[in-house]
A and B are shown apart, each in its own frame.
Chain A
Amino acid sequence: MTLVKQKVLAMNGDEAVAYAVKQSDVDVVAAYPITPQTIIVERFSEYVHNGEVDTEFVCVESEHSALTACLAASAVGARAFTATASAGLALMHEILFVTSGCRAPVVMAVVNRALSAPINIHCDHSDAMAERDSGWIQIYAENSQEAYDSVIQAFRIAEHTDVLLPVMIGLDGFFLSHTLENVKVLPDETVRNFVGTRKFPLVKSHEGKLVPFRLDPENPITIGPLALFDYYFEIKRQQEEAMRKALPIIKQVHDEYAGISGRRYGNGLIDAYRLEDAEIAAVCLGSTAGTVKTVVDELRSKGIKAGLLRLRTFRPLPTEEIKNALANVKAVGVMDRACSFGGFGGPVFHEVRHVLYDLQTRPHVSNYIYGLGGRDTSPMMIHQIYQDLQQIVETNRVEKPVQFIGVRE
């Protein structure tokens, strides 16, 4: 694979997503506006109204219908995309499970925003974390460039016949969605070739024939039947299997894309920064990683062995990669931009700490809940986390396993 010549466009994260969708030969977009996702649907509407895409855009009356229409379109064989945030994702909750259960490879951009109440339009991860178990692949972008690249990759991952699962691309509300960035874009044709056309696995129809898995009058199949205690469990088990199979495919698609774009995000699953010899490490998702990297560089310049593990793919959870990346770290600070009220720390903390339990010698793991409702996360706060980790290493104990950073207590 040879690198392709690319254009640089000044775009915010939402525009980058819309641009990626424009290039990906999407058949149906059904979406409903919600801050901070709105720019995606606005830009895409312009593409449609100016005849720049051959896509049907359905301006539905709710997010519930947005995802339903995408799911149904996908069942007919269309490549379908939607985008939402916060309350919109929450309204889709029911259909998120139906989409993954029907094995419809819908791609969705989630512009991560806090959930009400109080109502708040700014970034945190409570929306997507609440859908952690909905059977969707979840990839979180660090910057708008990655949002663009990930949307293109998402179609390939979702539609891979070993996967057939919907994919959510998370990008931090306002931090990415509304912030101008230089985004390198591939030529239209390159993207079109990369995403290719949808392939359909063969399934056994009720007439006993092997037919493509889609609603086709010539080969009728029933999608979304009633399955009770005698079959439901096997169908769910298959979904879990598909998630496992997605792990190498996410990497493979990421590598292939890197071959033409020259851009890598770790190995596609995790993105380790100065972690090889690190003694203390933060773990985070999304745009915060940029700030953390700056802090890591500052600490390194002072001889402190700090590192960062950014989880790019949160579902399926790359357990082996996380384990290997953090095995030799002495103290791990997991950053959560969401709360699990009444639980023991935030959702990312649960997962990371849980994965590390299997190690013979385990690092100390502490949790830092930060940035809810768009609260600014300054380098100073990140320094505070690393100082805490240093203290954990020195005292060899975790005083406070769960802390809230940057909040008036």
Chain B
Amino acid sequence: MSEWKFTAKEIAEKPELFASGHRACAGCVPATVHRLVLKAARGPIIASHATGCIEVSSTIYPYTAWRIPWIHTAFENVAANASGIETALKVLRRKGKIKNEHVDVVAFAGDGGTYDIGIQALSGAAERGHDFLYVLYDNEAYMNTGIQRSGGTPHGAWTTTSPAGKVIPGKPQFKKPIAEIMVAHEIPYVATASPFYWKDLIAKARKGLEAEGPAFLHVIAPCPRGWRFPTEKGIELSRLAVETCVFPLWEAVDGEYRLSAPSKVIALKPERKKPVKEYLKIQGRFRHLFTPEHEHVISEIQEIVDKRWKRLLKKCGIA
């Protein structure tokens, strides 16, 4: 895979394939994620979307924010959409029914559409080896339906189906390691990204498009409504998620893990690793943990973050 070099100016001058004027909430980071991913487009591209926030807010008929061909069919099947699109492009090109040029395929889904209801179609598409980029914009709950917990919701987080109750303080379970599950599918490219590190994100989206076969890009996408933070804090949280190692940045090319620069700095200088508390305290969904009776949950979160970080370093050949 040759590295695509680009400057901020070039990115700014590239057309906005995800147009403004959509009806996402103020401060919506997932919308920014979509915009950045599409900045990585290298030519003709078709997008598909699972049901979710961005799907509904970007295509309220008769309007659309998509300047590229786009299709939504249902919630649990965006990887099957991509399979069908990629297959059709391949055969129609072969038969001369469409122009003989390459068209990229990108599938977008939130955490619900990926970790939970969509994992079967995703796993199947990965196993079959369709050539497409799957972008998981992870806002860590079913935000479209009003903040319900998903397999991507972190431990201790309040949601409307994991309330901060007197007995059970938020979500008891831990976040499913979805990107590693995708690496286990032995697909050519898996990466994590954060919109604060936008250059890294765009470069990874590009690598995902360039990879021959399935590629999976897991992007942390803070949601002001669901995470309960002021609208201007989304990008800062995207940064803190990385700095606390809650959401380390890495990529696995053909199964070989390597840390990306922002996380590598922390690996090399562990004193730069911030405590998870700094990330949690900005977010209302963790507010209940900052009480004497639930403080232990913060320690649990720190423990799992440390454990997973250590495991990742091992996979990356560090430590």
Interface residues, chain A, CB within 8 Å of chain B?
A: 27-28, 30, 54-56, 58-62, 64-65, 68-78, 80, 94-95, 98, 102, 197, 206, 215-218, 220-228, 231
Give the most central of B73, B95, B97, B123: most A CB within 10 Å. Answer: B73
Task: Determine the chain B residues whose CB is within 8 A of the CB of A78 once the complex forms.
Answer: 87-88, 91-92
Task: Determine the chain A residues whose CB is within 8 A of the CB of B103 once the complex forms.
Answer: 217
Whether B84 lies near A28 (C-beta < 8 A) is yes
Interface residues, chain B, CB within 8 Å of chain A?
A: 44-46, 48, 55-56, 59-64, 66-74, 76-77, 79-85, 87-92, 94-95, 97-98, 103, 120-121, 123-125, 127-128
Task: Determine the chain B residues whose CB is within 8 A of the CB of A69 once the complex forms.
Answer: 80-81, 83-84, 87
Contact residue among A59, A95, A225 (Cβ-Cβ distance under 8 Å from B60) = A225
Whether A76 lies near B46 (C-beta < 8 A) is yes
Chain B residue with minimal CB distance to A225? B59
- Contacts A75-B84, A223-B71 known; list 13 others, CB within 8 Å: A27-B97, A56-B87, A58-B83, A61-B127, A72-B81, A73-B87, A94-B74, A102-B71, A215-B46, A222-B69, A222-B70, A224-B71, A226-B56
Task: Determine the chain B residues whose CB is within 8 A of the CB of A71 once the complex forms.
Answer: 73, 81, 84
Whether B70 lies near A220 (C-beta < 8 A) is yes
Task: Tell me the complex Cα distance, A58–B64, Å.
Answer: 31
Task: Determine the chain B residues whose CB is within 8 A of the CB of A62 once the complex forms.
Answer: 120-121, 124
Task: Tell me the complex Cα distance, A93–B70, Å.
Answer: 23
Query: How distant is A239 from chain B, measured CB to nearest CB, in Å?
Result: 15
Task: Tell me the complex Cα distance, A64–B79, Å.
Answer: 11
Task: Determine the chain B residues whose CB is within 8 A of the CB of A102 once the complex forms.
Answer: 71, 73
Known A-B contacts A68-B73, A69-B83; A77 and B124 likewise in contact (beta carbons under 8 Å):
no
Query: How distant is A274 from chain B, measured CB to nearest CB, in Å?
Result: 46
Contact residue among A61, A95, A220 (Cβ-Cβ distance under 8 Å from B66) = A220
Chain B residue with minimal CB distance to A226? B56
Whether B73 lies near A98 (C-beta < 8 A) is yes
Whether B69 lies near A215 (C-beta < 8 A) is yes
Task: Tell me the complex Cα distance, A247–B239, Å.
Answer: 60
Query: How distant is A359 from chain B, measured CB to nearest CB, in Å?
Result: 42
Task: Tell me the complex Cα distance, A348–B145, Å.
Answer: 39
Known A-B contacts A65-B124, A68-B77; A60 and B83 likewise in contact (beta carbons under 8 Å):
yes
Task: Tell me the complex Cα distance, A408–B274, Å.
Answer: 74
Whether B121 lies near A72 (C-beta < 8 A) is no
Whether A56 lies near B91 (C-beta < 8 A) is yes
Task: Tell me the complex Cα distance, A226–B45, Å.
Answer: 21
Query: How distant is A24 from chain B, measured CB to nearest CB, in Å?
Result: 14
Task: Tell me the complex Cα distance, A55–B90, Å.
Answer: 10
Known A-B contacts A54-B95, A94-B74, A217-B45; A30 and B87 likewise in contact (beta carbons under 8 Å):
yes
Whether A28 lies near B64 (C-beta < 8 A) is no
Known A-B contacts A76-B46, A225-B60; A220 and B80 likewise in contact (beta carbons under 8 Å):
no
Task: Determine the chain B residues whose CB is within 8 A of the CB of A59 once the complex forms.
Answer: 128
Whether A216 lies near B69 (C-beta < 8 A) is yes
Task: Determine the chain A residues whose CB is within 8 A of the CB of B56 once the complex forms.
Answer: 226
Task: Tell me the complex Cα distance, A27–B98, Å.
Answer: 12
Task: Determine the chain B residues whose CB is within 8 A of the CB of A30 once the complex forms.
Answer: 83-84, 87
Known A-B contacts A59-B128, A62-B124; A72 and B80 likewise in contact (beta carbons under 8 Å):
yes
Task: Tell me the complex Cα distance, A228–B62, Å.
Answer: 10
Whether B92 lies near A217 (C-beta < 8 A) is no
Chain A residue with minimal CB distance to B60? A226
Chain B residue with minimal CB distance to A62? B120
Chain B residue with minimal CB distance to A223? B71
Task: Tell me the complex Cα distance, A80–B88, Å.
Answer: 9
Whether A76 lies near B67 (C-beta < 8 A) is no
12 A–B pairs (Cβ distance < 8 Å), ordered by A: A28-B91, A62-B124, A65-B83, A69-B80, A69-B81, A74-B84, A102-B73, A217-B46, A217-B103, A222-B71, A224-B59, A226-B55
